[in-house]
Structure 1
Amino acid sequence: MKSGYTLPVFAIAAAKAAIITLQNLRKSQVLESITSVEMDLLEAGHGHIPIAQVAIIDYQINQQTALAIALSDPGDNLDLTAGMPIWAWVSLEAHGLADEILSPNSISISERLILEGGEGLGKSVDGKPAIYQLAQNLAQANLLPLLSPELLSPELPNQLARVRFILPEGRALAKRTSNAAFGILEGLSLLGTSAISQPLSVEDKLEEFRTDLRDKATDTQAIAFYIGANGYQVAQGLGFSDRQLVQTANWIGAMLIEAALLGIKEITLIGYHGKLLKLAGGIFNTSSHLADARIDILVRAAVHQNLPMELIQKIERSPTAEAVHNLLVANNSDQPVFAHITDQINQRAIAYIQKYSDRQVAVKTILCDRLGKLVLG
């Protein structure tokens, strides 16, 4: 099976192609055709990334702009982004042309480099562009060296590179993912733990999470399991360190047992309520392909809290857990219902661990909505 690269690699490669094209034009006054760029892939070494197109948009003394396009190639992975175009619009401009204060949709890499989110690139709950650490690290390694003083235009001694990433298909493709449930809104994200996209089977992915857990269990007895990017952001906001955070995806039951056998004494479950509430019904693999009793679990919790029958019937007719949450909030009933569900998750998880590992582990659950807001306040 063929490996490929993650989205941040193609985004930064397109930006690199645009900057090089502008610099080459300044040097020779001849537009050179760039078909690939060499990339520093950090811990993954180096690689040549194909470039589909590069075009000069404008070329003036105090501002020069270009657009480059790369096509996503994740290798032999079942990935919606395969073949997706990633545009990088680059403006080399004098510092005076840049906004003194960064817009909410910008990230400053240095005084010479700003990354921006354009159409199709998602935003986090706080409005920041979904350009995460790997993309920022790749930008530092591949773009900043091109902006060193000796390579800058003499007409622009205080040159700034403004890079805007545009994913024309991003908004449409995001609707086919669970991004919104995990706090990435209006598009896709430049997210990844490695530049290389390795094709992994389901079993391989679980083993990857178990390996991460084994590593982190060597220096802590308190672990936080999170589901998705939203759960990760919430966990960081709550003060958990990266050495405590372990992803589980749908394999919560298997990871709970693994943690107990490794000697973990405290586990905090953090994530979207529409996923984690399944544990309150004894469902420890949260894949919807295996079981989905979320509405039934919510109805049972509503009955337990003695909510009015009319409201319970509305819950039963609701299409999603998110719709139920909104309904409960509107009726000032969300806090008691989700407090009961959280308590049930804790009790079920503790019993599950005891049954399959014969270990005692303290379990705490923190639920958030799809925007990353804590459900219990």
Structure 2
Amino acid sequence: MREIFSPRKTRFTLPIWVAAAARAATQVLIGMSFQSEQELCIPNEKKKISVSVASAAKVGTCDGALGISFCHSGLGLDLTQGLEAWVYVQWDEEHIYSNALEASQIENNHQFFSLVPGTGVGRYQVDGSICASKFAYDLLKINLRPLVPIGRYLRLEVVFPKGSDLAARTSNESFGVVDGLSLIGITAEAQVSASPEQLNKNLEKLASITDHKGFDGFLTLVIGENGLDLAASTGLNVHPILKTGNWVGPLLIAAAKANVKQLVLFGYHGKLIKLAGGIFHTHHHLADARLEILSALALRTGLPVDLIKSLISSDSVEHAFKTLTSIDPLLSKRLWEQLAGEVERRSSEYVKRYCASKMSIGSVLFDRSRKVRRVGPVGLEQLSSLGIRSLCSS
């Protein structure tokens, strides 16, 4: 018998609440009664979890049903805490299969549903498809498969009524995601990016990299999940890449102690700018002085006082740079250079404060449009030595 976990003891990610609402709605669609407690199977795990759903019912005379849940991550400062999630399910008559063989083939490929981004749900700007992780898809597959008759195809439309407003507070656009919140959880349980548990996991990953006999001393530290593919596309993936969350400082020190010789900090400028201000735990709930740091850098760069005042009154660092670029592109370029260099300088000073190290630290900063905007002077030397010329011109 599988172990059942209660939501009162466990905090869950957004895909879990969506899957629970989808399962409740699908049950109603096929004629079952509403079940407020949904037992979900978790991909690649033996346990089940019990998740509460607010409601589920057929919608009017339409051949569809709506399930509603409220996200409880267990994290007091989480953006999705209390988020209302709707999942509208209906049969897609365009995917009724003509014969048993076709239905069997679809069954074997697990292609029995489509996931559609509704209001407030993040889409990839490139093609408009829903931004959802493989975990989210696998979760829906294993929990809906027993409910969907062979040969039928289910259409699931996910709606977050307040998703668009909440997404405006995130950096989703910098990763090519627009219109709402993403289903990018990769585990059932919510992880605190500011928690010691996250740091410990990253330290273990760092040790596995540096202990490998083929490690040559070059490491790229990517700040945040969505910078991974961008870092790889630049050619940096010829050396190990380690994704970190908000515990940047301790990982820098651990890397130095593990005899990393060259380290590249690769990340969104809204995160890396905090390092330029001496803030090495970058979670925005703990410290956020980005515009103040930018204004101080602008003063060092020699910008006029009137321009500095306009920067500090901007809505974001991104907006501040766009404003400055429209007024004086040359000054904007100088400020980018100042920022990238300061990230490197303050990071090196931070490491030397805690350990004796000759580890060189370079920086690569990208903006909301996923464009690499500036490489610091140390980073330029590092990338040149690797022959990565595409970034050296940034």
| TM > 0.5 | yes
State the partner residue of 1:7: 14
Provide the secondary structure at the position in 1 that maps to 2:92. strand
Letter aligned with residue 317 of structure 2: A
**CA distance, structure 1, for counterparts of residue 286 and residue 39 of structure 2:** 44
Provide the secondary structure at the position in 2 that maps to 1:42. coil
Partners of 1:17 and 1:54 within 8 A in 2: yes
Partners of 1:230 and 1:371 within 8 A in 2: no
Provide the secondary structure at the position in 2 that maps to 1:74. coil
**CA distance, structure 2, for counterparts of residue 280 and residue 224 of structure 1:** 18
**CA distance, structure 1, for counterparts of residue 349 and residue 236 of structure 2:** 25
Task: Give the number of equivalent residue pairs.
Answer: 349
CA displacement at 1:326 relative to structure 2: 0.9
Change (3 A) 1:349 1:55: same
State the partner residue of 1:28: none
Provide the secondary structure at the position in 1 that maps to 2:219. strand
Change (3 A) 1:307 1:218: same
TM normalised by structure 1 equals 0.77
Provide the secondary structure at the position in 2 that maps to 1:192. coil
CA displacement at 1:115 relative to structure 2: 0.9
Q: Trace 1:157-236 onto structure 2 (pairs within 5 A).
A: 157=151, 159-175=152-168, 179=172, 184-197=177-190, 202-219=195-212, 220=215, 221-236=217-232
Change (3 A) 1:318 1:75: closer
State the partner residue of 2:131: 130
State the partner residue of 1:270: 266
Matched, 1:65 2:64: yes
**CA distance, structure 2, for counterparts of residue 293 and residue 19 of structure 1:** 46
Q: Which runs of 5+ in 1 are unaligned?
A: 26-30, 99-108
Letter aligned with residue 117 of structure 1: P
Partners of 1:122 and 1:189 within 8 A in 2: yes
**CA distance, structure 1, for counterparts of residue 284 and residue 193 of structure 2:** 20
Partners of 1:14 and 1:69 within 8 A in 2: yes
Letter aligned with residue 227 of structure 2: G
Partners of 1:88 and 1:164 within 8 A in 2: yes
Provide the secondary structure at the position in 1 that maps to 2:153. strand
Give the one of 372, 375, 389 matched to 1:374.
Answer: 372
Change (3 A) 1:33 1:120: same
Deviates more, 1:279-288 or 1:300-309: 300-309
Letter aligned with residue 169 of structure 1: K
**CA distance, structure 2, for counterparts of residue 354 and residue 294 of structure 1:** 24
Letter aligned with residue 363 of structure 2: T
Change (3 A) 1:299 1:55: closer
**CA distance, structure 2, for counterparts of residue 161 and residue 138 of structure 1:** 15
State the partner residue of 2:119: 119
**CA distance, structure 2, for counterparts of residue 368 and residue 120 of structure 1:** 25
Letter aligned with residue 37 of structure 1: Q
State the partner residue of 1:256: 252
Letter aligned with residue 23 of structure 2: K
Deviation digits for residues 232-265 of structure 1 (CA, Å, limit 9, x no counterpart): 453354456696232131x322210111212333
Partners of 2:194 and 2:283 within 8 A in 1: no
State the partner residue of 1:323: 319
Change (3 A) 1:11 1:313: closer
State the partner residue of 1:46: 48
Q: Which runs of 5+ in 2 are unaligned?
A: 1-7, 98-108, 375-393
Change (3 A) 1:76 1:278: closer
TM normalised by structure 2 equals 0.74
Change (3 A) 1:91 1:222: farther
**CA distance, structure 1, for counterparts of residue 171 and residue 34 of structure 2:** 38
CA displacement at 1:318 relative to structure 2: 4.3
Partners of 2:120 and 2:159 within 8 A in 1: yes
Deviation digits for residues 212-251 of structure 1 (CA, Å, limit 9, x no counterpart): 43344444544332333443453354456696232131x3
Provide the secondary structure at the position in 2 that maps to 1:54. strand
**CA distance, structure 2, for counterparts of residue 114 and residue 311 of structure 1:** 50
State the partner residue of 2:38: 37
Overall identity of the aligned pairs, in % = 31
Deviates more, 1:335-344 or 1:300-309: 300-309
CA displacement at 1:120 relative to structure 2: 1.7
State the partner residue of 1:93: 92
Change (3 A) 1:366 1:188: same
State the partner residue of 2:106: none
Deviation digits for residues 166-203 of structure 1 (CA, Å, limit 9, x no counterpart): 11232334455565566654322222231123679743
Deviates more, 1:215-224 or 1:366-375: 215-224
CA displacement at 1:274 relative to structure 2: 2.5
Change (3 A) 1:181 1:205: same
State the partner residue of 2:102: none
Deviation digits for residues 37-70 of structure 1 (CA, Å, limit 9, x no counterpart): 332112442223333222223778xxx4222122
**CA distance, structure 2, for counterparts of residue 309 and residue 75 of structure 1:** 45
